[in-house]
Amino acid sequence: MWKSKRTKVILISTFIAMVISTLYILSLISDEVELCKLEATSVLDNQIASIKNEFMVNINSVYELRALIFGANGKYVDPQIIGERILKNPNIRNILYAPDSVVSNVYPLENNESIIGLNLLSPENQSCDDAKLAVVSEDVILTGPYDLKQGGKAFSARLAVKIPDDKSELKYNGLVSVTMNFPDVICQSTNNLHDNLKYDFFLEKRLPDSEDYIEIYSGRVSEYDDFISSDFSISNINFRLSIVPQHGWYNKSGITLKILAFTVVSMAVGIIMGFIFTARQNLIEKSRTDALTGLYNRAGGTNAITSIIKSNLYKGGAFVIMDLDNFKSVNDVLGHQMGDEVLATTAAILKNSVRDTDIVARLGGDEFMLYLPFESNSSFLKEKLEDIRIKMNRDIKGVEGIVTISSSIGVTFYNKNKSFDALYKEADEALYKSKENGRNQITVYT
């Protein structure tokens, strides 16, 4: 029975160790995710600052262009004067001047001829609403990304030019604009984010007069979708940048190794606990076993019978105490070695005479204790005990002579109101009456 318990101990110990390991691993994952997200938040802030800086470097060019027009008092200005220098920035596609909102000057002209004569306030211009906003605004108005007539996508930074009239009052003169290739304008930041820092990302733009965002650019190689995001604005446009590590928020290979390691440790703990349990059970068995006969000793028998009584598995049971008659003569006449053989033989007879569910114990000396549990029918007991009495009545032959032994037996019956001590006392009294009445007999306690 205890061997099946050992298996349970191994399984339960392994399970508990694995639960603890799982909780620890989950804690490690949580800590790693938290640390990774803190790092990602810092990366996110840095990348937003970088994107804003890239935009602003390009947007500043429109202020230079307005200053040129303002200095010429709104008269014709060849944008090439500053265009060559501005276009050293590879992200800027062109610069233009639109007196009264109609494009008349563009640099470079090559590949941009199609926008000459375009009225930026007309519906023909996809971004006419933003152009109208720029006319009345004091600040740069950013537009995009939009499809260009000459091909490609771009952002435009537009700024109204106001020239003093005869009364020194500023009057609207036209628009200046810098067109920035998209996504080139932010590629330095996004390439670093994606290729060097190994983050997937997507950039969104908030729709005008709405809480909704639309994706305008992204870089993804993984399927992870648990992004962290941050909102920011450049001029009049609100953006949202979202990022996630390409390897996820924790090192899966590292966690897998930890899981394997903790699984091995958990199994080792279970096996060790099994060995400890086995060693403990062996000690318990040894402490409860009679060394001479292999039966339970007094402590072992008491524990086993008490356990059956408390378990309520059986409604009744016969508690028996048996004593060998004339055993002292065996020791005195035939020697103690023969006495030990008689005790071992007696134990074997008792074990072979009872069921697996019955308890047999040696109390000490030549005294034995039995407990025979039953459900309701106890008719077998009389025949069983009589068979034992008959087998115990035998001649013991030795070099020094022959000694006849028998047994005196006391019996009582269990009910739920009786404790072990009460049963023992009653059976002992019945045993005493068997001896008093001539021995070699069975007495039932009444």
Residues with Cβ within 8 Å of 420's Cβ and at least 6 positions away in sequence, in order, are 302, 305, 306, 309
Give ∠ CA 412-442-421 in degrees, rounded to 5. 25
Structure-token match 């949202």, residue found: 240
State the virtual CA torsion across 267, 269, 275, 277 in degrees, nearest 10: -120
Tell the residue number behind the tokens 């000694």, with chain if given.
Answer: 403
Q: For residue 2, what pLDDT is reported?
A: 47
CA distance 95 to 226: 40
| Amino acid letter, 124 | E
Instruction: List per-residue pLDDT tens for the chain, 446 residues long.
Output: 445 666 777 777 777 877 887 777 778 778 888 889 999 999 999 999 999 999 998 899 999 989 888 888 877 677 777 888 888 888 998 899 999 999 998 899 888 888 899 999 999 888 889 999 999 998 999 998 988 776 789 999 999 999 998 888 899 999 999 999 999 999 889 999 999 999 999 999 999 889 999 999 999 888 888 999 999 999 999 999 999 999 888 777 776 777 777 777 777 777 777 777 777 777 777 778 999 999 999 999 999 999 999 988 888 999 999 999 999 999 999 999 999 999 999 999 999 999 999 999 999 999 999 999 998 777 889 999 999 999 999 999 988 899 999 999 999 999 888 999 999 999 999 999 999 999 999 999 98
Q: What six digits make up the tokens of 390?
A: 């008959």
Residues 6+ apart with CB under 8 A from 42: none
As to burial, measured by CB atoms within 10 angstroms (0-12 exposed, 13-18 middle, 19+ buried), residue 361 is: buried
Sign of CA dihedral 83, 85, 89, 90: positive
- Backbone φ and ψ for 43, nearest 5 degrees, come out as -60, -45
Distances from the Cα of 311 to the Cαs of 106, 191, 303, 308, 373, in angstroms?
100, 74, 12, 5, 12
pLDDT of residue 4: 67
Quickly count: other Cβ atoms within 10 Å of residue 257's Cβ. 11
Identify whether 373 is preceded by a cis peptide bond (ω within 30 of 0). Answer: no
Tokens of 383: 């025949």
The answer to whether 398 and 335 are in contact (CB under 8 A) is: yes
Query: What's residue 196's pLDDT?
Result: 93
Spatial contact of 327 and 362, defined as CB atoms under 8 Å apart: no
Q: Which residues contact 253 (CB under 8 A, 6 or more apart)?
A: none
Residues 6+ apart with CB under 8 A from 148: 93, 154, 179
The pLDDT assigned to 151 comes to 76
In what helix (H) or strand (E) does residue 135 lie, and over which residues does it extend? helix 128-136
d(C-alpha 2, C-alpha 278), whole Å: 8
Q: What is the pTM of this model?
A: 0.59
Whole-number Å distance between alpha carbons of 320 and 352: 16
CA distances, 5 to each of 13, 63, 288 (Å): 12, 85, 18
Closest CA to 191 of 49, 38, 47: 47
Q: What strand order describes the sheet that includes 105-107? A: 105-107, 92-99, 170-181, 153-164, 141-147
Residue 215 in 3-state DSSP? strand
327, containing H or E segment: helix 327-329
Please give the radius of gyration of the chain, using alpha carbons only, rounded to the nearest integer.
Answer: 50
d(CA 104, CA 78): 10
Gap between the terminal Cα atoms of the chain: 36
Phi, psi of 223 (to 5 degrees): -105, 10
Cβ contact 146:153 at 8 Å: yes
Say whether 52 sits in a helix, a strand or coil.
helix
**Domains in the chain, please, with CATH?**
1-287 (3.30.450.350), 292-444 (3.30.70.270)
Q: How many CB atoms are located within 10 Å of the residue 419 CB?
A: 11
